[in-house]
Amino acid sequence: YSDTRAYRQSKLANIFHAKELAMRFKAEGVDITANAVHPGFIMTPLMRYTFYIMSLSLCFFSSFLLKNVPQGAATTCYTALHPSLKDVTGQYFVDSSKYNCSAYGRDPELAHKLWTFSQEFIDKHSPS
């Protein structure tokens, strides 16, 4: 298990989910936008779960590298509320800017496959 790989996969899944939702809303004529957002690295108690040496490094560099909570919330609030983004959907935002994700993140077929797999998994494992 690689926690870094799992984190990257979860971000890619967020992008896929937003793109598939955006496509489905548009196809159904629903006036709702769906975008993926990366808030950045936010100063939280998360570092207590890292190795001791890494924790010391993070403590030292955190004031230079990590965002505080309001800064971390800024991209989410901007994407949800800014009037210029009223009709922007299926996009990925980082630091309050549209971000071009990897080729994987731009693949609508992969987004659809993840949606289908997730729906089948939920249907199979949810109580009737």
Enumerate the active-site residues: 1
CA distances from 36 to 59, 88, 89 (A): 29, 11, 9
String of b and e for 47-75 (b: at least 16 CB within 10 Å)? beeeeeeeeeebeeeeeeebbeeeebebb
Residue 36 DSSP symbol: E
Tally Cβ neighbours within 10 Å of residue 33.
19
Tell me how far apart the alpha carbons of residues 114 and 6 are, in angstroms, rounded to a whole number.
Answer: 15
Residue whose entry in the numeric block shows the structure tokens 């967020």: 14
- Which 3 state secondary structure label does DSSP give 82? coil
